[in-house]
Amino acid sequence: MKRVAAIAALVMAIPAFASAACTTCNIAGTVAASRNYDPAWPAWKYTMVINYDTGSRYQLSHLDVLLDIAGGTCSCQNFYDTLVFPPVVGQSGTTCMTYYTPEINCQGDPSIPNLTGIALKLNPTCTSCDPGTTGVATFTFYSRLSPGIIDQEALTLADKSGKTYCFGHLSGAFPAMPCDPMGTEDGQTWGSLKGMFR
């Protein structure tokens, strides 16, 4: 099975923030793939579950899934052609639900310094409950492409103060795109990243 990767350009910027103080901010996620038999949607359904903890009194602002670095092998159009989202892509919470909408940003996430490339931004809707400082969020998207294996530092979390963010591990499955997002195109091995303050 083809191995694919989803990873952020921010990985490249780690030396610039190496002296930043660590926080207890944590985020981690898994993605599972299953066949979809609803003709209204493409053949493969992907379910992504993300556990988050901002490590501060500030609640979650948004989540990013970093899809490819600036200058990587995939274009923004490749992801538009591959990923199909329902209008409300996910939710978190138990008694009061937070709902999320998807947004593919071709220039990365300007709220995180030097984060360029292609990012899937997951935004809580303004009409739902606040996401809080900790939680489990579940997201669904579809693709005509069958799954490949991912095991990468591909998640970022930003809190509503706009002053803290952290990175986390994403494992499981992602559509096996011909352009092979990130993959081993730079010949480097990517290590774990710790949560950081700006």
Terminal CA-CA length for the chain: 38
Query: Residue 161: its pLDDT value, please?
Result: 56
Query: Residue 7: its pLDDT value, please?
Result: 33
Does residue 153 register a pLDDT over 90? no
Residue carrying structure tokens 């409950």 = 129
What confidence tens digit (pLDDT) does each residue in 7-56 have?
322 221 122 232 333 457 888 999 999 999 999 999 999 999 999 988 88
* Neighbour count for residue 71 (Cβ, 10 Å): 10
Query: Residue 112: its pLDDT value, please?
Result: 79
> For residue 157, what pLDDT band results from cuts at 50, 70 and 90?
low
Quick one: 181 exposed, middle or buried, by C-beta within 10 A (0-12, 13-18, 19+)?
A: buried
Task: Kindly list the distances between the CA atom of residue 37 and the CA atoms of 31, 44, 45, 66, 96, in Å, as whole numbers in the listed order.
Answer: 19, 8, 9, 28, 30
Give the list of residues 6+ apart from residue 48 with CB closer than 8 angstroms, or none: 29, 30, 31, 65, 90, 138, 139, 140, 141, 170, 172
> Higher pLDDT residue, 156 or 66?
66
Query: Residue 193: its pLDDT value, please?
Result: 27
What confidence tens digit (pLDDT) does each residue in 58-113 have?
888 888 888 988 888 899 999 999 999 999 999 998 788 999 999 999 998 888 77
> For residue 159, what pLDDT band results from cuts at 50, 70 and 90?
low
Task: Kindly list the distances between the CA atom of residue 113 and the CA atoms of 10, 67, 76, 155, 187, in Å, as whole numbers in the listed order.
Answer: 8, 17, 20, 15, 24
- The residue ranges of DSSP E strands in 116-195, in sequence order, are 118-124, 134-143, 147-159, 164-175
Query: Residue 31: its pLDDT value, please?
Result: 94
> For residue 120, what pLDDT band results from cuts at 50, 70 and 90?
very high
The angle formed by the CA atoms of residues 112, 118 and 123, to the nearest 5 degrees, is: 60
Residue carrying structure tokens 């706009």 = 162
The angle formed by the CA atoms of residues 12, 141 and 13, to the nearest 5 degrees, is: 5
Query: 74: closest CA among 146, 3, 178, 149?
Result: 178
- All structural domains of the chain: 9-186 (2.60.40)
> For residue 155, what pLDDT band results from cuts at 50, 70 and 90?
low
Does residue 165 register a pLDDT over 70? yes
